[in-house]
A = this chain, B = another copy of it.
Amino acid sequence: MKELKVGIIGATGYGGLELIRFLHNHPEVEHIELFTSSSAGETFSTRFGHLVSIHDKPLNEINVDTLSTFDVVFTSTPSGVTSELLPPLVGVGPKLIDLSGDYRLQDPSSYEKWYKKKPAPLEIIQQSVYGLTEWNEKNIKEASVIANPGCYPTAVLLSILPLIKNELIDPNYLVIDAKSGISGAGIKPSQTTHFSEANENLSIYKINQHQHIPEIEQAIEMFAGAKTNITFNTHLVPMTRGILSTTYAPVHAGVTNKQLTECLIETYRDHPFVRVISEASAVGTNRVKGSNFCDIHVKLDERTNRATIVGVIDNLVKGAAGQAIQNMNVQMNLPQTSGLHVVPLFI
């Protein structure tokens, strides 16, 4: 028994709520405390009724001394917050796992361009490790700061990295059409996420401007060694959870559908959370709902010699809290599946 002491900063967002959901059933987590910059003292379950009898403790004020006694601290805030909030915590004790985007881009000027915010201190960015667990386990194990991947990049990268790395698809004309449930827009109400206007509505947003574009390109270069110039668009789908990304790529001459599929199977043979699905009809966001799975599927169109590559995740789990806990497990020398071994809800 590890009896871990875990803190969450930013628990009042959907990423934070999912951290609570999984950590409360994590066999090695003994103690969970929630921290806030705004609502200290408030009883958490008064605000979030589903946690009555589960987490009735009050929210705590953020305090470095207190936090220094924790084993792990998750920061799950909107972007632009942990760039200031996290540095004082580096090196004081806990492993830090940041779910915001503030530590993902290694180039601060790229962060400024895409996020339109002031970047985090360069020295902390350089210490941070990109937490795409299946592709970066060794570095994650040693890291003190984890930049947990974005939701879209997780679905996209897990599905296409093996095919690029193994030179089966041509990375020069990647078209990535991604679709997300509305929880990806966060907990703060807005006209776009107002039920009557979001329901029964499919829309496209941030055309060519999503901040996950540089994150995906950086990771393709990092893990598959290819410089790319991707086309990436995002759509809002009237459902709460789930991301499905559809990537289109020309295949290299002579490549077969069998080779594509086997490359995926081979890559993820020992990775319990990535499932290569053979039948497209078995691929859907409800097949991973509530779980840490990423389901992937590839299909070659012999008529056009282009491949369709599909990645499916629960955006709040494998795309956020689940992967963050998976990274914690790696750091703490626990089985990756510890506390995450739940069956998808399906319905």
Determine whether A124 belongs to the interface, using a CB cutoff of 8 Å to chain B: no
Question: How far, in whole Å, are A233 and B177 apart by their CA atoms in the complex?
Answer: 11
Determine whether A36 belongs to the interface, using a CB cutoff of 8 Å to chain B: no
- Known: A21-B343, A183-B196. Contact between A231 and B189, CB under 8 A? no
Count copies of this chain in the complex: 4
Whether the pair B229, A303 counts as a contact (CB closer than 8 A) is: yes
Please name the 9 residue pairs, one residue from A and one from B, whose CB atoms are nearest each other, closest first: A49-B282, A203-B284, A201-B286, A177-B177, A189-B189, A208-B301, A50-B344, A50-B346, A195-B198
What are 9 sample pairs from A and B whose C-beta atoms fall under 8 A apart? A177-B246, A189-B189, A199-B239, A200-B242, A201-B286, A204-B246, A230-B304, A235-B244, A290-B290
Determine whether A117 belongs to the interface, using a CB cutoff of 8 Å to chain B: no
Determine whether A287 belongs to the interface, using a CB cutoff of 8 Å to chain B: yes
B interface footprint on A191-225 (CB within 8 Å = 1, 0 otherwise) = 10111111111111101100000000000000000
Question: Which residues of B lie under 8 Å from residue A301 when comparing CB positions?
Answer: 207-208, 231
Whether the pair B240, A347 counts as a contact (CB closer than 8 A) is: yes
Out of B49, B181, B346, which one reaches A283, CB within 8 Å?
Answer: B49
- Known: A179-B179, A229-B304. Contact between A197 and B286, CB under 8 A? yes
Question: How far, in whole Å, are A17 and B208 apart by their CA atoms in the complex?
Answer: 32
12 new A-B contacts at CB < 8 Å, known A49-B282, A207-B301: A21-B346, A48-B346, A50-B289, A173-B173, A183-B196, A189-B193, A200-B240, A200-B289, A201-B285, A204-B283, A229-B303, A345-B345
Question: Which residues of B lie under 8 Å from residue A208 when comparing CB positions?
Answer: 299, 301, 303-304, 308
* Most chain B beta carbons < 10 A, residue from A52, A200, A235: A200
- Whole-angstrom distance between the Cβ of A46 and the nearest chain B Cβ: 8
B interface footprint on A255-296 (CB within 8 Å = 1, 0 otherwise) = 000000000000000001001010111111111111100010
Whether the pair B284, A49 counts as a contact (CB closer than 8 A) is: yes
Which residues of A approach B to under 8 Å, CB–CB?
14, 17, 20-21, 24-25, 46, 48-54, 173, 175, 177, 179, 181-183, 185, 187, 189-191, 193-205, 207-208, 229-231, 233, 235, 237-242, 244, 246, 248, 272, 275, 277, 279-291, 295, 299, 301, 303-304, 306, 308, 310, 316, 341-347
Whether the pair B204, A199 counts as a contact (CB closer than 8 A) is: no
Question: How far, in whole Å, are A288 and B283 apart by their CA atoms in the complex?
Answer: 27
Out of B229, B239, B304, which one reaches A200, CB within 8 Å?
Answer: B239
- Whole-angstrom distance between the Cβ of A170 and the nearest chain B Cβ: 11
Question: How far, in whole Å, are A241 and B195 apart by their CA atoms in the complex?
Answer: 11
Question: How far, in whole Å, are A207 and B213 apart by their CA atoms in the complex?
Answer: 25
Out of B52, B195, B246, B280, which one reaches A240, CB within 8 Å?
Answer: B195
Question: How far, in whole Å, are A285 and B50 apart by their CA atoms in the complex?
Answer: 9
- Whole-angstrom distance between the Cβ of A26 and the nearest chain B Cβ: 11
Question: How far, in whole Å, are A53 and B181 apart by their CA atoms in the complex?
Answer: 25
